[in-house]
């Protein structure tokens, strides 16, 4: 979400006092599980100050009071959560995961004779991860086999971008050249400088808002593969414990779970079998 910072009528931006900072940090952890570490004061200030101006409020203290009066279903809570959510991602990010999918997971799955490979891209941000999965699965699954991808995120702003499937042309360099023709359309005239994901890939993906720290699952599907990458770094160990246990429920016996290369389940009680440091399997390998 791009925000234009206000001029504050010629005055300097309002100060963010520690008590307000702690309040906002506690709120975003309660609502989204995101633990903002010390040193994130500038992030909170920058992302919230434009919203304070848009609400016609004077400072962070008034915004805190405003939030405290709102019912749980008020739209402002969604705006607040979107503002303090981090959504950095790329196409084909951490490629060793996709190599493992191609070389290990898909051959095993194909040998079982199943028809539809089901994936959950949890915390999908602006959609690069699920679209990468769609490109790979479309290429490597033989005729007669299909795939479905569920892509979820708590941030409704980035979900809208993901559903749109349109990206700046500069991001095309993240996609290997041999995928360009089958996967993307280059914009012309008024769409020059942009590309879109081809409709045949988009229709394989269902985008849905979902909060990972809620105990409910986003649907009835049990998945062959779940990805929750570069998200756990924002959670406390207690929240990671809750999330990984929830994701365990959503994976088929013999299915797989990917986390980010910089993340770990070390020190947690869990039922996964570690295949690689960032790749886990449910059970001992038998579906």
Q: What is the pLDDT of residues 129-184, one digit of tens each?
A: 999 999 999 999 999 999 999 999 999 989 999 999 999 999 999 999 999 999 99
Over residues 207-236, mean pLDDT: 91
From 153, 155, 157, 224, the catalytic residue: 153
CA atoms of 130 and 151, how far apart (whole Å): 6
Distances (CA, A) of 113 to 43, 77, 134, 226: 49, 46, 20, 20
Q: What pLDDT does 23 receive?
A: 84
Write the secondary structure of 114-147 as one string of H (helix), E (strand) and C (coil): CCEEEEEEECCCCCHHHHHHHHHHHHHCCCCCEE
Domain boundaries, given as residue ranges, for the chain = 8-83, 95-282
Q: What is the pLDDT of residues 122-133, one digit of tens each?
A: 999 999 999 999
- CB 287, CB 252: distance < 8 Å: yes
Determine which helix (DSSP H) or strand (DSSP E) holds 281, and give its type and residue range.
strand 279-282
Tokens encoding 27:
């709120």
Q: Coil, strand or helix: which one is 261?
A: coil
pLDDT band at 6 (very low <50, low <70, confident <90, very high): very low
Q: What pLDDT does 285 receive?
A: 55
From 31, 45, 47, 51, the catalytic residue: 47
Second-level CATH architecture of 8-83 = Orthogonal Bundle (1.10)
224 tagged catalytic:
no
N residues, the chain: 287
- What mean pLDDT value characterizes the chain? 88
The yes-or-no answer to whether 8-83 and 95-282 have a common fold is no
Over residues 275-280, mean pLDDT: 94
59 tagged catalytic:
no
- The reported pTM is 0.82
**Strand pairing category for 223-227 and 272-276:** unpaired
Q: What pLDDT does 33 receive?
A: 78
Distances (CA, A) of 131 to 11, 126, 137, 165, 272: 45, 10, 10, 8, 26
Q: What is the pLDDT of residues 67-115, one digit of tens each?
A: 889 888 888 888 888 788 777 789 999 999 999 999 999 999 999 999 9
The CATH code of the domain at 95-282 is 3.40.50.150
CA atoms of 9 and 7, how far apart (whole Å): 5
């Amino acid at each position: 979400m791009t925000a234009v910072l206000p001029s504050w009528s010629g005055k300097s931006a309002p100060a963010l006092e520690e008590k307000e900072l702690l309040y906002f940090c506690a709120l975003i952890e309660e609502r989204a599980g995101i633990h903002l570490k010390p040193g994130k004061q500038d992030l909170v200030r920058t992302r919230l100050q434009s919203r304070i101006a848009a609400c016609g409020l004077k400072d962070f203290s008034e915004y805190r009071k405003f939030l405290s009066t709102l019912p749980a279903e008020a739209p402002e809570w969604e705006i607040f959560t979107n503002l303090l959510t981090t959504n950095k991602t790329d196409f084909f990010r951490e490629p060793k995961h996709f190599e493992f999918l191609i070389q290990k997971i898909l051959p095993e799955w194909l040998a079982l004779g199943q028809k539809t490979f089901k994936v959950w891209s949890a915390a999908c941000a602006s959609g690069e991860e699920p679209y990468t999965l769609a490109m790979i699965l479309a290429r490597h699954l033989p005729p007669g086999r299909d795939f479905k991808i569920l892509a979820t995120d708590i941030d409704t702003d980035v979900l809208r971008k993901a559903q749109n499937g349109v990206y700046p042309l500069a991001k095309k360099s993240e996609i290997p050249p041999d995928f360009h023709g089958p996967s993307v359309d280059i914009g012309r005239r008024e769409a020059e400088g942009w590309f879109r994901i081809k409709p045949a890939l988009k229709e394989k993906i269902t985008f849905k808002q979902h909060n990972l720290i809620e105990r409910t699952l986003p649907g009835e599907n049990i998945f062959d593969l779940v990805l929750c990458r570069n998200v756990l770094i924002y959670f406390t160990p207690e929240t990671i414990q809750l999330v990984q246990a929830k994701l365990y429920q959503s994976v088929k016996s013999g299915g797989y779970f990917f986390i980010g290369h910089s993340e770990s389940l070390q020190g947690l009680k869990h039922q996964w079998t570690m295949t690689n440091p960032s790749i886990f399997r449910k059970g001992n390998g038998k579906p």
